[in-house]
Structures are given as structure tokens and as C-alpha cells.
């Protein structure tokens, strides 16, 4: 009888500790007010830079438990800002992002892996009605109690039907900075 009680007590303790361990990776809240996704693209020999600020989502991350870590994030495309109002309006139109019909872009990771200089998130990027598999290399830093995910990736706007289609690749450099707080 004592042996049965000991086994049951041990099992309950293990379940409790496992639940606590899993909970530690589910505690990241995006600081949406300070999160930024910046982009730059060369067009007609000129560089156009801009950013999106409407980042929201669910981030579960533990660098010691990558198998249970994930990103499921969205960007409010209407937060696009290049510093030129007329250009922003044109980029939000049907000619480019078609914000009225496709108000958000999403990234959902399938796996997160260790990489040479940090980590990489492999998953699906959806812009407008096109979804492509991409890999986003990133780092996770904590300094002075503040934590931030930083990453960079190059995508081809043609893959997502943004703007007039070109036969040549049209790369867009994207940098990501997402401050988070442990909940």
C-alpha cells in the first residue's frame, strides 16, 4: 500500500513538474508598440526603405527546448510606412498589397533549429493569397532584463504577387526586431 501511494505521489509530482517546464516556454508576449519589421528594395536604381509596426502573435521559445518552441505572428499591413504618404497609399492599393482584401501577412513556424549564429525558424510566410516556405535566421538576446528576437531574410516580392510581376527576381531585404516580455 505504501509502495502504491509512493508511486502515485511520484507520478503526480512528475506531472506537475512537466506542466511547469512546458509553461516556461509559453510565456513570451510581443511588445507590439516597439516591434518592427523593416524592409528595403531596389527599384529603378533607387533604394526604397520602409517598415511595418503592427506585429502581433504567439511566441513560445526556449533555446533548450526548440522542439516545443514556435512562432505564429501576424503583421498589420496597413501599418506600412515609407515616410512618403502617396507611396504608402499606392503600396496599400490593389497594385501591391491590396490591404482592403489582405489586411495581414503571417508567418507560422513548422520547426525551430539551432544555427551557426543563433537559430533559424523554418515555416510558412503568407502575403496576400500566396504562401511560401522560408527560413528566417534569428538571434534571441536578453540585456538588462529586456529580451528581443532579431532576424533577417530576403524574399522575392514576385513570389507573393506584390506589384507588377517581373521575369527577374526582385529581392526585398527584411529585418525583424521583436521585443518580448516574459508573462
pTM above 0.85, yes or no: no
3-state secondary structure string across 98-112: CCCCCCEEEEEEEEE
* Model pLDDT, residue 19: 43
* Model pLDDT, residue 45: 86
Query: Low-confidence residues of the chain, pLDDT below 50?
Result: 2, 4-25
* Model pLDDT, residue 101: 98
Chain length of the chain = 183
* Model pLDDT, residue 160: 95
Domain boundaries, the chain: 28-182
Grid coordinates of 78: 496597413
The Cα–Cα gap between 58 and 109 comes to 11
The Cα–Cα gap between 108 and 60 comes to 12
Q: What is the pLDDT of residues 126-170, one digit of tens each?
A: 999 999 999 999 999 999 889 999 999 999 999 999 988 887 778
The Cα–Cα gap between 178 and 55 comes to 8
Cα separations (Å) of 31 from 55, 127, 149, 158?
Answer: 8, 22, 11, 31
* Model pLDDT, residue 145: 84
* Model pLDDT, residue 183: 79
CATH homologous superfamily of domain 28-182?
Lipid/polyisoprenoid-binding, YceI-like (2.40.128.110)
* Model pLDDT, residue 23: 43
Amino acid at each position: 500500500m505504501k509502495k502504491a501511494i509512493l508511486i502515485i505521489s511520484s507520478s503526480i509530482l512528475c506531472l506537475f513538474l512537466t506542466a511547469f517546464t512546458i509553461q516556461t516556454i509559453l510565456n513570451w508576449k510581443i511588445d507590439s508598440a516597439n516591434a518592427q519589421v523593416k524592409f528595403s528594395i531596389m527599384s529603378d536604381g533607387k533604394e526604397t526603405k520602409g517598415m511595418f509596426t503592427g506585429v502581433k502573435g504567439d511566441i513560445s521559445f526556449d533555446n533548450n527546448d526548440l522542439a516545443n518552441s514556435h512562432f505564429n505572428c501576424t503583421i498589420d499591413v496597413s501599418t506600412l510606412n515609407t515616410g512618403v504618404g502617396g507611396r504608402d497609399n499606392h503600396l496599400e492599393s490593389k497594385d501591391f498589397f491590396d490591404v482592403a482584401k489582405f489586411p495581414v501577412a503571417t508567418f507560422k513556424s513548422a520547426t525551430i533549429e539551432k544555427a551557426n549564429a543563433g537559430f533559424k525558424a523554418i515555416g510558412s510566410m503568407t502575403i496576400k493569397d500566396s504562401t511560401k516556405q522560408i527560413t528566417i535566421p534569428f538571434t534571441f538576446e536578453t540585456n538588462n532584463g529586456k529580451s528581443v528576437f532579431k532576424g533577417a531574410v530576403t524574399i522575392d516580392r514576385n513570389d507573393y504577387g506584390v506589384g507588377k510581376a517581373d521575369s527577374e527576381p526582385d529581392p526585398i531585404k527584411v529585418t525583424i526586431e521583436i521585443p518580448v516580455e516574459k508573462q
